[in-house]
Structure 1
Amino acid sequence: MNAEIIAVGSELLLGQITNTNARFLSAQLAAIGVNVYHHTVVGDNPDRLKRALEIAEERSSLIIFTGGLGPTKDDLTKETIAKHLGTSLEMDESAMQSIQSYFSRANRKMTENNRKQALVLKGSHVLPNENGMAPGMFLAAGRHYYMLLPGPPFEMEPMFAKYGIPAIAAKMDTQAKIVSRVLRFFGIGEAALEAQLEDLIEAQSNPTIAPLAGESEVTIRLTAGNATEEGAIQLIDEVEAKILSRVGQFFYGYDDTSLMKELFKLLKEKNLTVAAAESLTGGLFQEQLTVIPGASSVFKGGVVCYSNEAKVKLVHVREETLAEHGAVSAECARELAENAASLLGADAGISFTGVAGPEALEGHPPGTVFVGLFIKGQPALAEKLMLAGTREINRIRTVKHGASLLIQALKY
């Protein structure tokens, strides 16, 4: 089954929002063995949408639309498709009840145009919207399948995962079982990783090997097909073992995990707690850790000590340290990490001090960073980083390096 994704909305063409829906849908479809060969973006214009639909029908069997299901006059996706297919729209009573219930709970009067959101293509399989009002729909017509999804990602993503994927899978060849697994790496670039795996990538067939550069990370998606799920898993296991034998030192987890999630799990497993002292990262480490449910079991607390005065008063960094070595130094990073752990009664401490950019500081160029680590019973350590990026990217990379370094320190 080959698919095309058509995103509807003039705001996408104007650059007002990013088309994250296409990325999400492509990844989800690849995981179940559906090939996505084309992405199309079209504005809120019925003639151009009709033409995009005609082109898609010439080259794809599954056509997925996102957006244009709302209550306003420029939301014309389902009307345009109904006219093109020679069918009509009908009221879905379940969706209508859900919309009415929403307005009742919000103590708001429902305007008449909101009834439009409950209209669906006649004969379609309705996909409930548990996070909004407009339902999705899935329709088989001739040689094609049509799926219509709402535009807002917080509505579209759970709808597709819960209802869209099963609807598509039911129409696929059930003889083949498709299994995907994502391997996550940190500390190695995409080019360097590909160079290590070049022969495996060139010889790939089943499983397929798809490297992808992410936000300061690299992932590899392995996808295998087999008559049984167990057989597909075995194929992936074999290729994964070859990959990790070469670049395993950079591997940290699977699928939707993150460095911070892995750090949280490790702290939890070892029954340890951590405290943080942050300068250039301004609390970013603490924010990313505490967004994880249950973080209070491993995180004692932290300090944002941006100025030297704050470093001295709040984290008890010695004035002599700052005078002799400066805030951008291994000495300062070590004191910050150890003192944060001591002051907050944690088993481990982590600190971040350096130059996010764009200006130099204390004679150090932008991207000069020191990450301090302290684990109870061991001497404090500091790792120097030399990053090359924007101020925002340097801060993000600093936190990821810190999480990775702490994971390695706690493992061994």
Structure 2
Amino acid sequence: MRAEIIAVGSELLLGQIVNTNAQFISQQLALCGIDVFFHTVVGDNQSRLLQAISVAKNRADILIFTGGLGPTKDDITKETVSLYLQIPLEIDKPSLTSIVNYFEKRGIPMTENNQKQALILKNAKVFPNEHGLAPGMALEKDGTHFILLPGPPSEMKPMFINYIIPHLNHLLGESNLICSKVLRFFGIGESALEEKLQHLLNNQSNPTIAPLANEGEVTIRITAKASNEIKAFEMINRIEDEIRLIAGEFIYGVNNETLHQVAIERLSQKKLTLSLAESCTGGLLGHLVTSVPGASSVFLGGIQSYSDQSKVSILGLSPSVLKLHGAVSEESAKEMAENTRSIFNSDIGISITGIAGPAPVEGKEVGLIYIGIANNDTDTQVYRIKLAGTRNQIKQRAAKYALFYLWKQL
């Protein structure tokens, strides 16, 4: 089946917000085995939306609309689809009850136009909005499936996962079941990984193998089509085993796992504690660590020693080290890691010092990073890396490299 995504909202055309909904929906449809050939964005104009629907209906089996289900006059999606299909709108009583309860619980008066959000296409299948007010809906007419979803991603995404995917799988039938697994890589670039896996990529059919680079990481999505989940994952596992034999040293996780999540899990499993000393990343590594639930059991604290003065007065870095080697050096990274471990009495201390840009420092190029890891069980290791990109990209990648090296040591 072919789908077209139609995003409705003048704010999208004006560039006031980014159409992340289309990206998310396309990714999910690919997992369902549904092709997306067109993305359409239309402003809050009924005649142009009618034209877009007419064009899309001639080239797609499924039309998925996002946005335009709200209470104001410029929310025109369901009214326009109603006009196009010549199907009236009616109040969905469960949705109206949910909207009324929402306002009552918050002690806020409900205005009359909020009832508009409970309108649905007559005889449509209704998808409850568990994170907002306007319900989603689906209707089939003359062989074309119309799916209307709210615009806010916080409402649309859970609705799509919980209700739309089961609805689409029902339309496709069991014989078209699509399953996938994502392998997550760090420490190797997309082109280098593709070269290692070239023979698998050249001969793929079912399962398919799709590499994707993102913020210093690479993912491989393995997707299989089969009559049931067991058969699909048998096919996926065979390909995964081959990939792990070739490039397993760079695989740190699967599916939605993150570097900071797997690193904290390893620390927790080994009952080890962690402290940080950050310079060029300015607390970013600490932010990643503390974003993991349960990090408090292993993370004792960190020091943002951004200036040379703070490196000496707070972190205890030797002035002689700074004078002889500079703040961005192997020697400084080593002492920073050891000192933060001592200050917090942690099992492991990590330091990051480097140059994120935009200008060189100490006669050293932008992108030069030193990461120190002081571990009770081994000698302090210092890793020298050279990164490229914007200031923010260098900071992000430096923090991720620190987590990767920690994970590798553990």
Give the structure-2-normalised TM-score. 0.97
Which residue of the partner structure matches residue 177 of structure 1? 177
Paired residue secondary structure (2:378): coil
Gaps of 5+ in 2: none
Q: 1:312-371 CA deviation, whole Å, 9 max, x = no partner?
A: 122111111111111111111111111111211211111111111001111111111111
Match status 1:345 vs 2:345: yes
What is residue 388 of structure 2 aligned with on the other side? 388
- Corresponding residue for residue 15 of structure 2: 15
Q: What's the counterpart of residue 65 of structure 1?
A: 65
Query: Equivalent residue for 1:308?
Result: 308
Report 1:256-275 matches (<5 A): 256-275=256-275
Q: C-alpha separation between the residues in 2 aligned to 1:149 and 1:176?
A: 24
CA distance in 1, matches of 2:198, 2:123: 49
AA matched with 2:374: F
Tell me which amino acid in the other structure corresponds to 1:162: N
Q: 1:289 is matched with which residue?
A: 289
The aligned residue for residue 376 of structure 1 is 376
Percent identity for Structure 1 against Structure 2? 49
What CA deviation, in whole Å up to 9, does each residue of 1:121-151 have, x standing for no partner? Answer: 1111111111111111111222111111111
Say whether 1:125 aligns with 2:125: yes
Moved more, 191-200 or 140-149: 191-200
Instruction: Name the CA distance, whole Å, in 2 between partners of 1:227 and 1:103.
Output: 46
Residues 145-174 of structure 1, C-alpha deviation per residue, up to 9 Å, x if partnerless?
Answer: 111111111111111111111122121122
Q: CA deviation at 1:183?
A: 1.0
Residue of structure 2 equivalent to 1:245: 245
Which residue of 2 is the match for residue 54 of structure 1? 54
Partner residue of 2:43?
Answer: 43
Shift of 1:71: 1.1
Matched residue, 2:223: 223
Q: 1:402 aligns to what? A: 402
1:362-409 Cα deviation digits (max 9, x unpaired): 111111111111111322121111111111100000011111011111
Cα distance between partner residues in 2 of 1:83 and 1:309 = 69
Secondary structure of the 2:131 match is coil
SS of equivalent residue, structure 1 residue 256: coil
Corresponding residue of 1:358: 358
Partner Cα separation in structure 2 for residue 274 and residue 393 of structure 1: 24
> Is 1:201 the counterpart of 2:201 in the alignment?
yes
CA distance in 1, matches of 2:243, 2:378: 34
Q: Secondary structure at the match of 1:101?
A: helix
Structure 1 distance, partners of 2:69, 2:31, is 26
How far is the alpha carbon of 1:244 from its aligned partner?
2.2
Partners of 2:310 and 2:97 in 1: CA distance: 56
Aligned counterparts of 1:227 and 1:336: Cα–Cα separation in 2: 56
Q: 1:95 is matched with which residue? A: 95
For residue 199 of structure 1, report the CA deviation from its aligned partner.
2.4
For 1:171, what is the secondary structure of its paired residue? helix
What's the counterpart of residue 32 of structure 2? 32
Cα distance, 1:106 vs structure 2 = 2.4
**Does the CA contact (< 8 Å) of 2:169 and 2:177 recur in 1?**
no
Q: Which amino acid aligns with 1:248?
A: G
In the TM superposition, residue 21 of structure 1 has moved relative to its aligned partner by: 0.9
Gaps of 5+ in 1: none
**SS in structure 1 of the partner of residue 369 of structure 2:** strand
CA distance in 1 between partners of 2:167 and 2:158 (Å): 14
**2:388 aligned partner, one-letter code:** A
1:244 and 1:157 map into 2 onto residues whose CA distance is 32
* CA deviation map 1:172-194 (0-9, x unaligned): 12223321111111122222222
State how far apart, in whole Å, the 2-side matches of 1:231 and 1:106 are: 49
Equivalent-residue separation in structure 1 for 2:377 and 2:224 (angstroms)? 46
Please give the per-residue CA displacement for 1:33-74, whole angstroms capped at 9, x wherever unaligned: 222222221211112211221222112111111111111111
**Which consecutive aligned stretches of 4+ in structure 1 deviate over 6 angstroms post-superposition?**
none
2:168 alignment counterpart: 168
Q: Which residue of 2 aligns with 1:81?
A: 81
Structure 2 CA distance for aligned equivalents of residues 217 and 55 of structure 1: 38
Q: TM-score, normalised by structure 1?
A: 0.97
Deviations 1:242-278 (A, max 9, x none): 2222222221111111111111111111111111111
> Residue 377 and residue 194 in structure 1: after superposition, are their counterparts in 2 closer, same or farther (change >3 A)?
closer
Q: Distance in 2 between matches of 1:223 and 1:55?
A: 31
Instruction: Quote the Cα distance in structure 2 between the aligned partners of 1:16 and 1:128.
Output: 28
Amino acid at match of 1:67: G
Q: Tell me which moved more, 176-185 or 81-90.
A: 176-185
In terms of mean alpha carbon deviation, does 363-372 or 26-35 score higher?
26-35
Match of 2:359, SS state, is coil
User: Which amino acid counterpart does residue 288 of structure 1 have in structure 2?
Assistant: L
Whole-Å separation in 1 of the counterparts to 2:315 and 2:377: 20
